[in-house]
A and B are shown apart, each in its own frame.
Chain A
Amino acid sequence: MHTTLNRCMALVLGILCVGSLCACSLSGRGITVSSNSTAFGTVLSLTVTGPTRADADETVSRLLAETARLERIFSYSDPDSELSRLNRTAQEGPVQVSEELFMVIERSLSVCERSGGALDIALGDLIELWHVETNEGEIPSVDEMMQNGRPSFRDIELNEEDRSVRYRKAGLKIHLGAVAKGYLCEALRDLMKDRNCTGILNLGGSIQTVGLRTDGDRWRIGVADPDHPETSLTRFRIGEASVATSGSYQRYFEVDGVRYHHILDPKTGCPAQSGLASVTVTGPDGLLCDALSTACFVLGEDGAKDLMEFYPDYGILLISGSGQDRTVSADGPVETLP
């Protein structure tokens, strides 16, 4: 009699344990906190889930501190950043730099080379000339600059032994706008994982997911419609990954109905006219996603697909045309949603 009763109790307790676990799962795992601030000249949205409220709050504080630290290294506009100091002195001779700055330049140069110069991190002079973000309609003359053989990424000399950088050509200035947000995504991802947190980060459209959603599902990412950036044109699903988009609708000015956007083609010195409205790249590393989205935008559809063959772990979404002629094509490991 007692044995039967004990078995019965064990069964009920077992059912209750399973039920409680299901209930915990339904109610979400951990505590989620959000933060919205500005960084790298854009908006930084953090959604972090930690084991406790204190863990999640502390992680958000550390992510913001890490962002500020990296901005002091990679900022082009801050005259006191490490990059600005490098740009002022590297033409005079080799300059020793931090491990992070050296590594980001080195990784970026690999994409510059592989893309045949479609990505060029030595565009500081051209970006200053166009000053797209503050330009009120003045189209600069780039002919003289281009004819005089302006510097390129090939004029950057790296020395791994003493971690130094030297510029071989006068006027060269490194601008890391095409890669720094992606590297930040990687750094913040590592910090969140070290602190046993999951979540999603969005830095001006560059996204990093860490782990899975609290319901155990993968993340749903929308891609802004180039004609109406406040709405999504298409969606795809990712696990833990980075996402970066380069588009002609993000920063631009218009003169006589012609749009002059911020993604410059190093070969012409002018805004890239490749027929693409936006390129989204998703994959394991943020820096590569960021760099490849810019390179692919400059290369155009065919060149982009050729380049992506070197990166089989990365998926790409290309949006071209406009209005009724808008087309979306996907290539590589990217799972689009209906």
Chain B
Amino acid sequence: MRRTVLPILLIGILIAAGLCSLLFILIRPSAHTALKAEIYVDGEIVRTLDLSGTEETRTIRIETPYGYNLVEAGPGYIRMQDADCPNRTCTHMGKRTGDGIPIVCLPHHLVIRVCGAEPEEDGVTY
């Protein structure tokens, strides 16, 4: 009798564990659900901004070893408002909403990337 019950119990535990694991993987919250902007200087993240949990527009000043950048972060977007770099190309790159194209200020070695959106593309060529 005991020789019959034990394997059945074992099978039951294995099935339950397997189902729980599968359920966890399928329903766990995605790590990319919250929209955020990562600001890199010299390849290192210096600031992370939440773009989905707020309705207000904020202006953040980023000091780099090469100069400053003023970043505007609002609900669902981020843009470069101002900078003291020579050509100010970064201020003309528009609002980014997670389309995969980063905002770049080359003279200040600064890159802003929006993460969390599910872009329709894995990369954009330009």
Contact = CB atoms under 8 A, between A and B. Distances in A.
Interface residues of A, number: 53
A276 B42 CA distance: 35
Contacts of A35: 43
| Max count, chain A CB within 10 A of own CB: residue among B25, B43, B124 | B124
B122 A38 contact: no
A232 B120 CA distance: 10
A235 B121 contact: yes
Interface string A235-262: 1000000011101001000000000000
B33 to A, nearest CB: 15
A19 B14 CA distance: 12
A221 B125 contact: yes
A224 B126 contact: yes
A13 B12 CA distance: 11
A148 interface: no
B26 to A, nearest CB: 7
A250 B126 contact: yes
Instruction: Please classify how large the interface on chain B is, using the bins under 10, 10 to 19, 20 to 34, 35 or more.
Output: 35 or more
A37 B25 contact: no
Nearest to A199: B122
B68 interface: no
B40 to A, nearest CB: 5
Contacts of A38: 43, 104, 106, 109, 111
B37 to A, nearest CB: 11
Given A9-B11, A19-B18, A36-B102, A205 B94 contact: no
A232 B122 contact: no
A5 B14 contact: no
B101 to A, nearest CB: 6
A230 B93 contact: yes
A200 B96 contact: no
Given A26-B26, A37-B43, A230-B96, A45 B102 contact: yes
B29 interface: no
14 contacts: A5-B4, A5-B7, A20-B21, A22-B22, A36-B111, A37-B43, A37-B109, A38-B111, A43-B106, A200-B122, A209-B123, A220-B120, A224-B101, A245-B126
Interface of A: 1-2, 5, 8-9, 12-13, 16, 19-20, 22-23, 26-27, 34-38, 41-43, 45, 64, 133-134, 200, 202, 204-207, 209, 213, 219-224, 228-232, 235, 243-245, 247, 250, 278, 280
Given A43-B102, A221-B124, 17 more contacts: A5-B7, A12-B14, A23-B22, A36-B38, A36-B43, A38-B104, A41-B106, A45-B111, A133-B87, A220-B121, A222-B99, A222-B120, A222-B121, A223-B124, A223-B125, A224-B125, A244-B125
Going nearest first, the 6 A-B pairs with the smallest beta carbon separation are A37-B43, A224-B126, A222-B121, A205-B126, A222-B124, A36-B111
